[in-house]
Amino acid sequence: MALTVGLRPLTRALLRPWARVPGAALGRPAAGSGDGVRCFGSPRVLVEPDPAAVGVAVMKMRNPPVNSLSLEFLTELLISLEKLENDKTFRGIIITSDCPGIFSAGLDLLEMYGRDPAHCAEYWKAVQELWLRVYLSNLVVIGAINGISPAGGCLLSLSCDYRVLANNPKYAIGLNETLLGIIAPFWFKDVLVNTIGHRAAERALQLGFLFPPSDALQVGIVDQVVPEDQVQSTARSVMAQWLAIPDHARQLTKNLVRKPTADRLLQQRDADIQNFVRFISRDSIQKSLHVYLEKLKQKKG
């Protein structure tokens, strides 16, 4: 999948040579890891081989305070995923968070609020790109969801092959876009419908449900709920089960199941970008985002 087409200078710079990303170094031993352990990443994305599982990488999102998916963060995630996809030593990735209590707060509202149409278009293209990259990955992708995961964070989780959620009543997962006065795009909706079924998705989307762990498991938006300190070990055991399947058979099957959903976006990416830009630029939508951002500020007191 070509990643650089049509992207503006910031994104192109980030997608160009790995070494240009400050702090990034492919093949450099990880701080605190044994000599010779391959570790690569970027300021906001830490990627390490799982010391206990051959062929598995752990990708930790580290964009404090809430792992919101800014353009720079999306770009770094894309670079890391592309590296992993092309590195034949890896067959699976566990995606998790390095921000306590938060998997990802979803799309970065500041990339959509008060921005010009060109910026919004570039941002949306990167959002599409990340989804396609994760959803269609040849690797086994397991979400070790160790925190709240609304909207874009939920989409990222839903795009994994399997989701393990920490059993903490403070955590919740769902597509809550309507609560912000915005709507989930058709491909977010498609992935949710594929996961929890039409009727449950219809209710969840319209009411902007954020499911706490027990409800999340019951509706099927996650596959397993486990005590917080067992999220990583469970993700690792699940990974072993998925890696026991020959790659070619699993990958072709994944493609068979997921391609029709991805194709719906691939066939109309530009139109989807234009729709997004038109929608997000409306005064009424900008007002809703403003109100929501103010609410987030006031919550702090």
Q: Which of 32, 29, 52, 51 is closest to 41 using CA atoms?
A: 29
| Close Cβ partners of 90 (under 8 Å, ≥ 6 residues apart) | 49, 55, 56, 57, 84, 139
Choose, from 78, 136, 177, 208, the residue flagged as catalytic. Answer: 177
Residue 157 CB partners (closer than 8 Å, separation 6+): 103, 143, 145, 149, 163, 173, 222
Q: Which of 108, 122, 190, 223 binds ligand L4P3G6V5 (CB under 6 A)?
A: 108
Looking at residue 66, its amino acid is: V
Contacting range for ligand L4P3G6V5; rule: CB under 6 A; set: 33-41, 87-95, 178-186, 257-265: 178-186
67 as an active site residue: the answer is no
Pick one of 251, 261, 268, 275: the residue that binds ligand L4P3G6V5 (CB under 6 A): 275
Q: Does 185 bind ligand L4P3G6V5 (CB under 6 A)?
A: yes
The answer to whether 41 contacts ligand L4P3G6V5 (rule: CB under 6 A) is no
**Which residue, among 150, 185, 207, 187, has the nearest Cα to 280 in the 3D structure?**
185
126's tokens: 């990167």
The least distance separating ligand L4P3G6V5 from the CB of residue 172, rounded to whole angstroms, comes to 9
Taking contact as CB under 6 A, which single stretch among the options 43-51, 99-107, 129-137, 226-234 is the one that binds ligand L4P3G6V5? 99-107
Catalytic residue among 176, 192, 210, 265: 176
Q: C-beta of 126: minimal distance to ligand L4P3G6V5 in Å?
A: 13
Active site residue 76: no
Q: Phi, psi at residue 95, to the nearest 5°?
A: -100, 130
The residues that are catalytic are 107, 152, 176-177
